[in-house]
């Protein structure tokens, strides 16, 4: 079938290659003429996914109309900051029945909407699914075995997306818990920033394990309060994505965190990483959600203080360590 990938960053390009390998006709759209010119010339994204060669019959275009016309699947692969603008532009050409598969990760600060909620807000009667999990573009583009989950309100939609993306190197599970998938995907980026900051400060494996574990506790508390299923947050798009994002140097959030821990500002870190660092933009939204639902999220709070209040990272770590004593499992079994 024809598939349109909207966004030619590293993730969009990696998924484009996967979809083409699965015998689909793939159109890749970007709003950036220079990027499209480079892809048409090189058949490789030399800036964001160097070494991943793209087929000669893959189409690259700046025409959104041409890209989406007659496509059955539309992959929303722009950074979360641009999902609303792109969805608004797409609304002019969207045909009812086309499946929009969101692969961006984030929460809109002004509305606290997830990415699928933004798409539904901009496009009437849109059929939207979300694809997420532990999946670095650098590895998917090279065909390294990866497992991921697709969420949709309609089982048939989830299974159709599963069929389109599934391959011997890309295993796809299905889920009805769209909200849980998106909450895990967005908030793990904030925790990954914290993990990177700890690395930048020179801390070790003990600290990393603590941040992953207690960060997961924060994500789960908030997600469940919002209506997500705990099983989702302990699955691929929750703990799975959190582990890979906190541990890998492919992770732009971890890399930015390392630079911040070494003393750079958030702006300086993002410029050095040279890609959108989603966790920086999701951090404020995560703090707003924790306030709205009255959920204690000390790691998220401290990440916000480091990013936006210029508090020294080492002081924030100390504050986390000397908080009031807590019980890990809130079940009164002691007599």
Tens of pLDDT, residues 45-92: 999 999 999 999 999 999 999 999 999 999 999 999 999 999 999 999
What is the average per-residue pLDDT within 270-287? Answer: 85
Numbered ranges of CATH 1.10.1040.10 in the chain: 179-321
pLDDT at 275 over 80: no
Lowest-pLDDT range of 25-29, 40-44, 81-85, 308-312: 308-312
Strand ranges, E, within the chain: 2-6, 25-29, 59-61, 73-76, 99-102, 127-132, 146-152, 170-175
pLDDT of residue 22: 98
Q: Which of 241, 238, 220, 230 is nearest to 293 (CA)?
A: 220
Give the residue numbers marked as catalytic: 188
Lowest-pLDDT range of 5-19, 145-159, 214-228, 315-329: 315-329
pLDDT of residue 61: 98
Query: Would you state the torsion angle of the CA atoms of residues 297, 253, 269, 47, taken in this order, to the nearest 10 degrees?
Result: -160
What is the average per-residue pLDDT within 172-192? Answer: 96
If you compute the radius of gyration of the chain from its CA atoms, what whole number of angstroms results?
Answer: 20
What is the average per-residue pLDDT within 128-149? Answer: 96
Average pLDDT of the chain is 93
**Alpha-carbon span 223 to 233, nearest angstrom:** 8
Question: pLDDT band at 311, cuts 50/70/90?
Answer: confident
The b/e string for 75-103 (b: 16+ C-beta within 10 A; e otherwise) is bbbbbbebbbebbebbeebbeeebbbbbb
Percent of the chain at pLDDT above 90?
79
Query: DSSP secondary structure string, 95-130?
Result: -TTPEEEE----B-TTT--BHHHHHHHHSTT-EEEE
Q: Please count the CA atoms within 13 angstroms of the CA of 314 that sit on its side-chain side.
A: 6
Higher pLDDT: 248 or 221? It is: 221
**Alpha-carbon span 195 to 206, nearest angstrom:** 11
Question: pLDDT band at 213, cuts 50/70/90?
Answer: very high
Q: How does DSSP classify residue 286?
A: H
pLDDT at 334 over 80: no
**Alpha-carbon span 329 to 22, nearest angstrom:** 45
Q: How does DSSP classify residue 44?
A: S
Question: pLDDT band at 35, cuts 50/70/90?
Answer: very high
Higher pLDDT: 267 or 189? It is: 189
pLDDT at 304 over 70: yes
Does residue 131 sit in helix, strand or coil? strand
Query: DSSP secondary structure string, 219-249?
Result: HHHHHHHHT--HHHHTSIIIIIHHHHHHH-T
Numbered ranges of CATH 3.40.50.720 in the chain: 2-176
pLDDT at 276 over 80: no
The helix, strand and coil proportions of the chain, stated in percent and rounded to the nearest 5, come to: 50, 15, 35
pLDDT at 331 over 70: no
pLDDT of residue 60: 98
Q: How far is CA 195 from CA 114, 201, 243, 255, 291, in A?
A: 23, 10, 10, 10, 23
Q: How does DSSP classify residue 167?
A: B
- Second CATH level (architecture) for the domain 179-321: Orthogonal Bundle (1.10)
pLDDT of residue 20: 98
Question: pLDDT band at 335, cuts 50/70/90?
Answer: low
**Alpha-carbon span 120 to 128, nearest angstrom:** 7
CA distance between the termini of the chain? 63
Q: What is the pTM of this model?
A: 0.93
CATH of 2-176, one of 1.20.1730.10, 3.40.605.10, 3.40.50.720, 3.40.1190.20: 3.40.50.720
Q: How far is CA 223 from CA 90, 217, 238, 243, in A?
A: 29, 10, 10, 17
pLDDT at 312 over 70: yes
pLDDT at 330 over 80: no
pLDDT at 333 over 80: no
Question: Within 10 A of 68 (CB to CB), how many other CB atoms are there?
Answer: 22
pLDDT of residue 99: 98
Lowest-pLDDT range of 73-77, 315-319, 330-334: 330-334
Q: How does DSSP classify residue 260?
A: H
């Amino acid at each position: 079938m024809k598939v349109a990938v909207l966004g030619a960053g590293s993730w969009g390009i990696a998924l484009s290659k996967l979809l083409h390998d699965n015998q689909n006709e793939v159109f890749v759209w970007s709003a950036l003429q220079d990027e499209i010119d480079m892809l048409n010339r090189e058949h490789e994204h030399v800036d964001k996914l160097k070494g991943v060669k793209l087929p000669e019959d893959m189409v690259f275009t700046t025409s959104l109309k041409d890209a989406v016309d007659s496509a059955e699947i539309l992959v929303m692969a722009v950074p979360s900051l641009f999902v609303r603008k792109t969805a608004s532009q797409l609304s002019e050409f969207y045909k009812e029945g086309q499946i929009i598969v969101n692969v961006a990760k984030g929460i809109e600060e002004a509305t606290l909407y997830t990415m699928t909620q933004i798409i539904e807000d901009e496009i009437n009667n849109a059929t939207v699914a979300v694809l997420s999990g532990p999946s670095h573009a650098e590895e998917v583009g090279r065909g390294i075995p990866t497992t991921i989950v697709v969420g949709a309100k309609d089982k048939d939609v989830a299974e159709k997306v599963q069929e389109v993306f599934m391959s011997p190197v890309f295993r796809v599970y299905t889920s009805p818990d769209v909200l849980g998938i998106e909450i895990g995907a967005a908030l793990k980026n904030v925790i990954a920033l914290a993990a990177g900051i700890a690395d930048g400060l020179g801390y070790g494996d003990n600290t990393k394990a603590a941040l992953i574990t207690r960060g997961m506790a924060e994500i789960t508390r908030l997600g469940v309060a919002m209506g997500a299923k705990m099983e989702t947050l302990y699955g691929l798009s929750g703990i799975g994505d959190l582990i890979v994002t906190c541990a890998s140097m492919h992770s732009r959030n971890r890399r930015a965190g390392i630079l911040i821990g070494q003393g750079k500002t958030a702006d300086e870190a993002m410029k050095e990483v040279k890609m959108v660092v989603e966790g920086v933009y999701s951090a404020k939204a995560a703090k707003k959600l924790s306030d709205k639902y009255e959920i204690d999220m000390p790691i998220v709070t401290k990440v916000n203080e480091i990013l936006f209040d210029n508090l020294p990272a080492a002081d924030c770590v100390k504050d986390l360590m000397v908080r009031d004593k807590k019980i890990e499992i809130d079940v009164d079994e002691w007599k």
